[in-house]
Structure 1
């Protein structure tokens, strides 16, 4: 474990895609645009915007092409799109996104439920998508799902993670999100696995993605930061949950992560008041209270938002 934290980290926002995908009621494209603009106003520069997948599987993402077109390509902001096969990748490239992300699971059972193919077949799709992305000069990212455990198969061995990372980087993947898809990770596990990964691979190739299913999300973030990872993925308001995992809960909330690390002297480069404005807007759009601690405090008037 490192003896100190980095002076600054990058927050990658996943609320528009990973957050909204589990919403049963369709969120109008204009509302998604409003949330996206509020996020960029707060200073977020890497945003997972949508997914080009079957609308039968994820109805919330049926406006992917329209959303990307209306978002445009503002200077300094990278919008990312999730794809699971060549057709989706082709549609995403046509839309104009500059970063493609696909999913490979550490777990065979989760892979079948999530993308309806084996891990081997998913790696085959990954190779094809990576080649296509390279042809068009796109950034290539993989979400390595169930890195810290699978609700169907249990613990995932560290060697399994290392093996899959070797394969992914050999394909030409530039960035990997280590995803705790079911919220099964704990701080000791995160510390051990991150240490093992960073003795084998460059630190700048990774981000951490935690769900707060068992209340350990922020503790796992801290363990990962101490271990040397400097990119954290989070979701405004704590939105989210994998639709293919029973009782899955939301991601860690962006505003909670920012409060924690900045109170420890770590800079995120974000405007915290504008981030709270984005969280409040998201609550208004969805018409219900969200699960972040900072929103709860603001609601109960226990502190003023400008003092956090």
Structure 2
């Protein structure tokens, strides 16, 4: 019995110039280190399981947040939406198949599988060139061209009978012999889809966001972070354009203060209770 084809990878590569990618810089500027960590965790899951794609459902956001301390399920969803909008994941494939993949992911997967067998799903394969194609769910009565030279193989059934398997053309009988045509010009990168933006009449300027933040009792830092976040998202809440941004700023400021309060309590609770003698710096528990 043939061994099943291993789809996932045991390790994946990380480009050394990843922080030169404008999409990654936007992700870091909008969500900080937590957003980048979420993206890397999702990439690892993609490469580990199917190799170059992951079917997204509501439960995965919880699974990912559960693996990263201090990250909520809602934040995971926001980061995934941002990655789709800015092109880190292919928007058309996600819209039609609810699946996370990208040209870059498939390129690295194909390179990692060089010399091996690549199992692909044609509906979500976005690379320009496909070399070895092994259908994900082949049909038994697959039609074969009568002009091809064929070999007929026999498969023994469990009861001792013999049945004739579908004929396989000689030129594709060994997919490992398929060679990638060599060209001097590398294939063009698949351009990232533009981020769909809300109507310009509903988008505030940076100065307007800063003024409103101060009016609501916030700071310039809060106003700047708010504007950068929603500018990166195209001024959309999920897939809906934001018609009135001021309530979102009010919630952003409230959440900002709430997170500061919680972080302050954590720091206070982590400090030991006792006294320190300034001379010898000795700690005396109370």
Query: Larger RCO: Structure 1 or Structure 2 (Cα < 8 Å, ≥ 6 residues apart)?
Result: 1
Does the alignment reach a TM-score above 0.5? no
Q: Shorter-chain TM-score category?
A: under 0.3
Q: TM-score, normalised by structure 2?
A: 0.21
Answer 1 or 2: which has greater strand percent. 1
